[in-house]
Structure 1
């Protein structure tokens, strides 16, 4: 079975830098997981009125309300078979801001329609369609598309007026031997909400049992 990202991107996956192909080639058949460690040069947020929105997201490990510079962080990418039978990959980011550790949780699966689906947060309340594109320089551009909210029997398409659109760029710097990442989350009406930029290196480890603390607390079947 082809890895989730490679299958979703098709021939475009081969246009990524080889190190990005290795990093996003994580999967059950590939037989390895990836743990990245590095520094966020800046963790930013929008104006003061964005703080309640970010604090609400923090309660489910969806957004980070803090700001800082030279912030140590770790990203955990572990493939596993979830209770619904899907191959899934953890994208759990941990930021150490002073004495606090903040988390931004996500779980990637392959949607029935063929694209990568990103379940955000510790309880998979938000299901977000991802658009993936290899750029001419071999970097990966990820943009969020339609978003749906699920809680119990409730499910609806999340109005973009009350949500954020994320654009993430990740590339490999051959000279420095590091991955560089830049994320911007903005609202079409209210502007910039949250973002970060930084660099990290990766350690590739054999598959094993995924630490319980990195797994979602509930799983959402709806896409």
Structure 2
């Protein structure tokens, strides 16, 4: 059973059937898709040095763009302790270069959250709360966050957190997945936002 099935329980079956397939993720059977981000927007220009710094960890990036090609791959594997982990690889192909946004996800069954380690090597940790909308879309919201410094993890004050909202759906008419992501900070406003669509490719 996938970590997302375990987390959502019966609500997993309320997802659109295509999203259920997407998030089934059998061990060592990757989900791979290609698509286009219709719009990618970052925040204020003075954030660019921070966003550029994050690129060294395959995390955030400073570029903006429209109709940006991208790929996404999710792979579930078993760790040495028997825990299932999903490796997320998101690659954005800008005209002037390629950017990556990677993450490693496991679940905390007791707290009913996904443990999301962002970047490679991980630079930021965030709790993620998963819900299903009435329309069968997947809604993800961030929670408690920490900065990761090797084996040390330091809590981030709430005013400095990057609050994340993600909504993923499936357009049955056009037969493709849709994605909307918004990262916001209460002080600086928008950190990054992107919206796009993608279609699975069977390897």
Shorter-chain TM band:
over 0.9
Separation in 2, partners of 1:144, 1:204: 30
Give aligned pairs, total: 202
Aligned counterpart, 1:134: 132
The answer to whether residue 175 in structure 2 is matched with residue 177 in structure 1 is yes
Gaps of 5+ in 1: 206-223
**Structure (1 or 2) with the greater strand fraction:** 2
Separation in 2, partners of 1:98, 1:17: 34
Gaps of 5+ in 2: none
Decide whether aligned partners of structure 1 residues 84 and 162 sit closer, same or farther in structure 2, where only a CA change above 3 A counts. farther
Separation in 2, partners of 1:117, 1:153: 16
Q: TM-score, normalised by structure 2?
A: 0.93
* Offset, 1:64: 1.8
Decide whether aligned partners of structure 1 residues 25 and 204 sit closer, same or farther in structure 2, where only a CA change above 3 A counts. farther
Aligned counterpart, 1:116: 114
CA-to-aligned-CA distance 1:120-146 (integer Å, 9 cap, x gap):
000123221111110011101101111
Aligned counterpart, 2:4: 5
Q: Does the residue aligned with 1:131 lie in a helix, a strand or coil?
A: strand
Mapping of residues 144-223 of structure 1, within 5 Å: 144-205=142-203
Q: Contact between 1:126 and 1:149, CA under 8 Å: does it hold in 2?
A: yes
Of stretches 112-121 and 184-193 in structure 1, the one that deviates more from structure 2 is: 112-121
Match of 2:89 among 64, 67, 92: 92
Separation in 1, partners of 2:157, 2:4: 27
